[in-house]
Amino acid sequence: MSPRRWGWCQLVVMAVVTWSVLVASGEAEKHVRKGVSVAKREEEEKGGAFLTDLYDFLWNKAGRLGYTHVWPALTFGWRIIVGSIIGFLGAAFGSVGGVGGGGIFVPMLTLIIGFDAKSSTALSKCMIMGAAASTVYYNLKLRHPTLDLPIIDYDLALLFQPMLVLGISIGVAFNVVFADWMITVLLIVLFLATSTRAFFKGVETWKKETIMKKEEAARRLAANASGNEGVEYQPLLGGPGEERAPKRTRVPVLENVYWKEFGLLSAVWVIILALEIAKNYSTTCSWEYWVLNLMQIPVACGVSGYEAYCLYTGKRQILSREGTTEWKIPQLLLYCGCGVLAGIVGGLLGLGGGFILGPLFLELGIPPQVSSATATFAMTFSSSMSVVEYYLLKRFPVPYALYLVAVSTVAAFVGQYVVRRVIAILGRASLIIFILAATIFISAISLGGVGIANMIVKIEDHEYMGFEDLCTS
């Protein structure tokens, strides 16, 4: 058979088979059309029920019991003792790393002392404020590890702190609205990523410090071989690429205060705080409430935008930053966005914004000592803002807050003194980065574990696990 005839035969066979299938389908359709319609209606009903269940899970007012705080009495016992010890260690290491220690405070307050989750978040902010304030006072006496500048970089603070304070206001509102399991998921993902990145940054800095110490040892050997035995070895106080210790390591407090920059930062704090207080006396979700919220945006963006413009045009510089001093607009916008994100996370989770700012400053090439000091300086403004807002919302008992602030204040002083002495002896500023990474990782495990455990209990008890209403909470 020729190929042409074979092709025609194939076409005929396919046509017959297709016609047979269509006829059979038509006959079968008559018998199952009714069954398909019933199944389709059942499927639509199931789909509608699923959407209804999802809505009830996330936003069902009938399932809400409302927020009820749990405040244990301030009595001397094992809970207070153990909680104070853990809080002391958390404040000591958190102040050194520039993260505040909120990731340790919140589980301690919840699991050991017995506060509810939202009250623990508020009290955690009180402890962060105490630790940050004492750390700033300690750092105001210190100088930059290699430059004749304060250890606090005021230009870096001007770029981030106003956006951090703006983010805090958003985060506090989110803390009221968001369900606990949503906060837990965000916390685990964010903290594991930042702690991992900070750890690798610490390893990189450690290796560079090792090379520098070997070069210094070689120079000492060469000096001894040439007969200059009087050359004294100076420990390396700075980060990678920094070879000279400063002539002055401590100065009076007032000499390290840049009043113009400090005044701008304080003005942002006062204005936004005034708007928050006025908002507290307005009806929630009224037009006055939203106007007062929106008025915070030009205040924060105006100061950070001014600093960003000066950096872009070269009128101001972040002298602590290694490498090029050129800034690009997308880069500045990204960093301002990270400042807002740090504030949102801080207000939402009851943590210091240093969990975001600390690793970010290190990525910018800021020395570890300056990164920790500047992040803590910014946290002093943001944490005090959160404390005032939580106080207005009546989220914590004042006697407990005063006691915990005292514990964290003393712990921060001790932590700063001990770790700075160790760094001066070993000549490894990378220890600050490792403390930062370890604090963030421990916070991820502790807070994540507590959040998952609470989520399992709520699921078993069929409790409401959706959004709260900002206008009625």
Q: pLDDT by residue (tens digit) across 380-408?
A: 887 887 788 778 778 888 888 999 999 99
Find the length of the chain.
473
Q: Is the pLDDT of residue 200 over 50?
A: yes
In angstroms, rounded to a whole number, what is the distance separating the alpha carbons of residues 126 and 395?
11
Per the model's pLDDT, the better-predicted residue between 428 and 250 turns out to be 428
Residue position matching structure tokens 């319609």? 37
Amino acid symbol at 417: Y
Predicted pLDDT of residue 447? 75
In terms of Cα–Cα distance, which of 326, 137, 366 is closest to 238? 366
Predicted pLDDT of residue 227? 56
Cα 158 off chain centre by: 18
| Cross-strand bridge partners of residue 150 | 143
Q: Is the pLDDT of residue 231 over 70?
A: no
Predicted pLDDT of residue 273? 86
In angstroms, rounded to a whole number, what is the distance separating the alpha carbons of residues 261 and 157?
9
What b/e sequence results for 156-190 when a residue is b if at least 16 CB atoms lie within 10 Å of its CB, and e otherwise?
Answer: bbbbbbbbbbbbbbbbbbbbbebbebbbbebbbeb
Q: What share of the chain is helix, strand, coil (3-state, %, to 5)?
A: 75, 0, 25
CB 239 within 8 A of CB 321: no
Arithmetic mean of pLDDT over the chain: 75
Judged on CB neighbours under 10 Å (0-12, 13-18, 19+), 381 is: buried
Q: What is the mean predicted confidence (pLDDT) over 182-211?
A: 81
CB 175 within 8 A of CB 468: no
**In sequence order, which residues have a C-beta less than 8 Å from that of residue 469 and are 6 or more positions away?**
61, 64, 177
Judged on CB neighbours under 10 Å (0-12, 13-18, 19+), 24 is: exposed
**In sequence order, which residues have a C-beta less than 8 Å from that of residue 453 and are 6 or more positions away?**
none
What b/e sequence results for 283-298 when a residue is b if at least 16 CB atoms lie within 10 Å of its CB, and e otherwise?
Answer: eeeeeebeebbeebee
Judged on CB neighbours under 10 Å (0-12, 13-18, 19+), 253 is: exposed
Helices (H), 113-153: 117-139
CB 237 within 8 A of CB 245: yes
Q: Is the pLDDT of residue 185 over 50?
A: yes
Task: Tell whether the torsion through CA atoms of 293, 270, 252 and 411 is positive or negative.
Answer: negative
In terms of Cα–Cα distance, which of 83, 73, 85, 91 is closest to 111? 83
In terms of Cα–Cα distance, which of 81, 108, 55 is closest to 442? 108
In angstroms, rounded to a whole number, what is the distance separating the alpha carbons of residues 412 and 352?
14
Phi, psi of 216 (to 5 degrees): -65, -40
Q: What is the DSSP string of 262-302?
A: HHHHHHHHHHHHHHHHHHHTSPTTSHHHHHHHHTHHHHHHH
Q: Return the number of other C-beta atoms located less than 10 Å from residue 422's C-beta.
A: 12
The model's confidence at residue 13, banded by pLDDT at 50, 70 and 90, is very low
CB 195 within 8 A of CB 433: no
Per residue in 319-354, pLDDT (tens digit) is: 777 665 678 888 888 888 888 888 887 777 766 677
Q: Is the pLDDT of residue 377 over 70?
A: yes
Per residue in 51-96, pLDDT (tens digit) is: 555 445 444 544 444 556 778 887 888 888 988 898 898 888 877 7
Phi, psi of 217 (to 5 degrees): -65, -40
